[in-house]
Structure 1
């Protein structure tokens, strides 16, 4: 569900996502790259925290995540990211000079949460959705609103069942607002 029991939105809007991306760049490289991985990929916080040097696919400009919700340890998915972001990861985390098994962020889940909360505060994003899960949901909503096919969004998010992914198509987007605005205009004379 994209709303909690009180009806509050659990995802970042496109404007909030943009504000988050800008705010992330105001932090040091470790916090910024961590926050941007979550925003650009929609990954789970635990999936980001277990990323290693070898999971950054520079040739394909993708980040390869082990899908933690699967019942097997050998299920991976590649999520494309901007090429300049891959270059930033290479530079910031010295990927060319580290072992492939070295973690990018040898941090705890609590520290990862703190990083995201700091960036959310800097971005002025408040509420239930100001969280790693809000970034994940915001990614799903943004992808469906930009016309990315559900099966691709499903793969990127690591959902086993497409019905989980389909909830992102229920968010109010520009097209739905444009349709509703027809009700707000007085009839032509």
Structure 2
């Protein structure tokens, strides 16, 4: 398979998988509903205003800034991907950039469109293409669902300064497939960094 089609296929599969899972969760779970798959893995439906792992970013204006930043960043990433394809870069680098692009697009779709195609999930399951959507365009909330509390409600040792004796959970962040694709893409860039960021050979003058 050519690197061009590898990139396109990776992006399409990742975006479709991301949206299928999010739409399923949105149309089958109430907000806050949780299903235990294993003790260390749960499907837990939450929503956030657009940052990865459920972080917030400055309310409505912050959300708009983040969405438009992604809209500007995606074309830059696509251009970088195009350049790497032209250079016949290592497939690991191509897949990495494609996953980051797909993850960004996945969360952009939520932020831009979900507010006008879904109604609220509060105390009920949301309806797709509802007559009474919960928001406006660019005001959609990102759907998160993957929760891996490997260590839950543990007590930190007393000798740890400032936070000793307090309860903590590891890993406490809830994320979605798009976040996972971005994280995997970044990890792959580190793994294949010698290909992704090649050092220019020094010209030795005699």
Could you say which TM-score interval applies, normalised by the shorter chain? under 0.3
Q: Which has the larger radius of gyration?
A: 2
The structure with the greater share of residues assigned to strand is 2
> TM-score, normalised on structure 1?
0.27
